[in-house]
Structure 1
Amino acid sequence: MVSITRDPLLAIAKGVLYFLMGITAFAAAVCLVAIPALFIFQNDIAGELARDAPGLAMPQLLTALGLVLLLVIGLMAALFRIFLLLRRIVDTVGQGDPFVPENARRLTQMAWLSLGVQLISLPIGAIGLWIARATEGTDTNVDVHVDGGLSGNGLLLMLILFILARVFRQGAAMRAELEGTV
Structure 2
Amino acid sequence: MLHSHPTSLGVSRIVLKLLRMLNLGMGLGLVLAFPASLVFEPQFVEFFSKRPPSIDPGWLMPTLRVWLVLALPMIGLVHVQLSRLLAVVETVAVDPFVPENVPRLKTIAWCMLGLELLRLVYGMLAATMNAAGSRIEWHFSTTGWLAVVLLFVLAQVFEAGTRLRDDLDAMI
TM range (shorter): 0.7 to 0.9
Counterpart residue number, 2:148: 158
Check the 8 A contact 1:124/1:148 in 2, yes or no: no
Change (3 A) 1:53 1:145: closer
Correspondences of 1:113-132 after superposition (within 5 Å): 113-132=111-130
Shift of 1:100: 1.2
Counterpart residue number, 1:75: 74
Equivalent pairs counted in the alignment come to 172
* Residue in structure 1 matching 2:132, options 128, 131, 134: 134
Correspondences of 1:3-22 after superposition (within 5 Å): 7-22=6-21
Write the distance in 2 (CA, Å) between the matches of 1:58 and 1:40.
Answer: 16
Shift of 1:135: 2.5
Write the distance in 2 (CA, Å) between the matches of 1:148 and 1:71.
Answer: 18
Change (3 A) 1:181 1:53: closer
- 1:9-56: CA deviations, max 9, x gaps? 111211221222122111111111101111122244345556777775
Write the distance in 2 (CA, Å) between the matches of 1:16 and 1:158.
Answer: 22
Check the 8 A contact 2:24/2:75 in 1, yes or no: yes
Structure 1 position 105 matched with structure 2 position 103: yes
1:133 maps to amino acid: A
Write the distance in 1 (CA, Å) between the matches of 2:8 and 2:22.
Answer: 21
Check the 8 A contact 2:23/2:78 in 1, yes or no: yes
Check the 8 A contact 1:46/1:58 in 2, yes or no: yes
Check the 8 A contact 2:41/2:61 in 1, yes or no: yes
* Percent of paired sites with the same residue: 27
1:118 maps to amino acid: E
Change (3 A) 1:115 1:49: closer
Check the 8 A contact 1:122/1:148 in 2, yes or no: no
TM-score (norm 1): 0.82
Shift of 1:180: 2.4
Shift of 1:59: 4.2
Check the 8 A contact 1:121/1:148 in 2, yes or no: no
Counterpart residue number, 2:91: 92
- 1:108-136: CA deviations, max 9, x gaps? 11111111111001111221232233235
TM-score (norm 2): 0.86
Write the distance in 1 (CA, Å) between the matches of 2:106 and 2:113.
Answer: 11
Change (3 A) 1:169 1:41: same
Unaligned runs of 5+ residues in structure 2 are none
Counterpart residue number, 2:137: 146
Check the 8 A contact 2:59/2:129 in 1, yes or no: no
Counterpart residue number, 2:159: 169
Between 1:19-28 and 1:49-58, the stretch displaced more is 49-58
Unaligned runs of 5+ residues in structure 1 are 137-143
1:174 maps to amino acid: L
Check the 8 A contact 1:126/1:148 in 2, yes or no: no
